[in-house]
Amino acid sequence: MKNCLSEKLRKDENLYFDVFDVSENQDITNNIKSLIPKLVLKPSAGGGSMVDIEDVENYIAFQKEWFRKNIKAPKDSLKSMTANGDSMEPTIRNGDMLLVDVSQNQAKTDNIYIIRIDDCLVVKRVQCILDNKLQIVSDNKNYDSYQIDLTDGAQDIKIIGKVVWYGRSIGVE
DSSP H helices, the chain, are 5-11, 64-70
> For residues 85 and 28, what is the distance between their CA atoms, to the nearest angstrom?
34
Residues sharing a CB contact under 8 Å with residue 28, sequence separation 6 or more, in sequence order: 3, 5, 6, 22, 61
Cα 51 vs. chain centroid, distance in angstroms? 14
Share of the chain above pLDDT 70, in %: 70
Q: What is the pTM assigned to this prediction?
A: 0.74
Q: Which helix (H) or strand (E) holds 50?
A: strand 49-50
Instruction: Categorize the per-residue pLDDT at 55 as very low, low, confident or very high, splitting at 50, 70 and 90.
Output: confident
Instruction: Categorize the per-residue pLDDT at 76 as very low, low, confident or very high, splitting at 50, 70 and 90.
Output: confident
Closest CA to 97 of 58, 48, 55, 51: 58
Q: Mean pLDDT of all residues in the chain? A: 77
Asked whether residue 172 is domain-assigned, the answer is no
State the residue range of the domain holding 114: 5-167
Asked whether residue 173 is domain-assigned, the answer is no
Instruction: Categorize the per-residue pLDDT at 172 as very low, low, confident or very high, splitting at 50, 70 and 90.
Output: low
> For residues 4 and 82, what is the distance between their CA atoms, to the nearest angstrom?
23
**Is pLDDT at 45 greater than 70 in this prediction?**
no
Asked whether residue 55 is domain-assigned, the answer is yes
Instruction: Tell me what pLDDT residue 31 has.
Output: 53
Asked whether residue 26 is domain-assigned, the answer is yes
**Of 6-20, 22-36, 71-85, 106-120, minimum mean pLDDT range:** 6-20
Q: Which CB contacts under 8 angstroms, 24+ apart, belong to 146-149?
A: 148/117
**Count of domains forming the chain:** 1
- Mean pLDDT for 87-95 is 94
Q: What is the DSSP letter of 68?
A: H
**Of 45-49, 80-84, 149-153, minimum mean pLDDT range:** 45-49
The β-bridge relationship of strands 111-117 and 97-101 is: unpaired
Residues 121-150 have pLDDT tens digits of: 899 999 998 888 999 999 999 999 999 988
Closest CA to 99 of 126, 59, 44, 52: 59
**Is pLDDT at 38 greater than 60 in this prediction?**
yes
The enclosing domain of 27 has a CATH number of 2.10.109.10
